[in-house]
Amino acid sequence: MFNYKSSRRTFVTHLAALAGASVLLPDTSRAASLSAGATAPGDEPEPWLLALTGKHRTLFHSHDKWSKGLDYATRFKLAYPVEYGVKPEDANSVLAAHGKTGLITYNDAAWDKYGFAKEFDVTDPTTKQPATRNIFINGDADNPGVREAFAAGVVVLSCRTMLRGMAEGLADQKKWGDAKEIERDLTASLLPGVILVPAMMIAIGRAQEHGCTYLFTG
């Protein structure tokens, strides 16, 4: 794990300053406005790209290591202003949750219904059994989860191409309906504030064109 003591203290202070658990998730109206243009046609920057106005922008591309991208993206967002004396809005952090780590962007109901944990061997630390919930939603100061990433101001992306591929694979099991039905259900199962992009590899390239540096977290 990326051990950054100063950012841990900042992280705790940041969370303590937030009034109530409800604000640990992003404002849904703002999230909706950022997501609205994610799949719009045309070559203009999507709303989530336009919202990256900080001088210092990094995209963290996660693929196989469940929590590392969350850790790096959250700590970057919190540590940069502290260590370099810039305003929080001057540092933009984007998490591209790709590959199997894209599953961290789905709610508990989807994890339970579709058996993600059995497919990818994820154990619930509480029950010691295959997780029937998304154990990556809630973390703490040492191991940030999706909730903590949102609280810090991280932009979290999920991939529609992956979603459609999952829907087609799940449809083959003949348990939850056809691929279109499952696709609609999965789309509705994304955590509030997650931005669904058409294809992650394209989104990563567009983010770099928009001034983001790139870091692969595994």
Burial class (CB in 10 A: 0-12, 13-18, 19+), 146: buried
Tell me the CATH number of domain 50-216, given options 3.40.640.10, 3.30.160.40, 3.40.1260.10, 3.40.50.2300: 3.40.1260.10
pTM of the predicted model as reported, rounded to 2 decimal places = 0.83
pLDDT of residue 141: 75
What pLDDT was estimated at residue 40?
Answer: 52
pLDDT at 24: 37
pLDDT of 43 reads 84
Scan for tokens 């998490």, then name that residue: 95
Cα gap 98→196, rounded to integer Å: 11
| Length in residues, the chain | 218
Beta-carbon contacts of residue 133 (< 8 Å; ≥ 6 apart): 108, 111, 112, 124
Give the pLDDT confidence score for residue 21 in this predicted structure: 29
Weakly modelled stretches of the chain, pLDDT under 50: 1-30, 32-33, 36-37
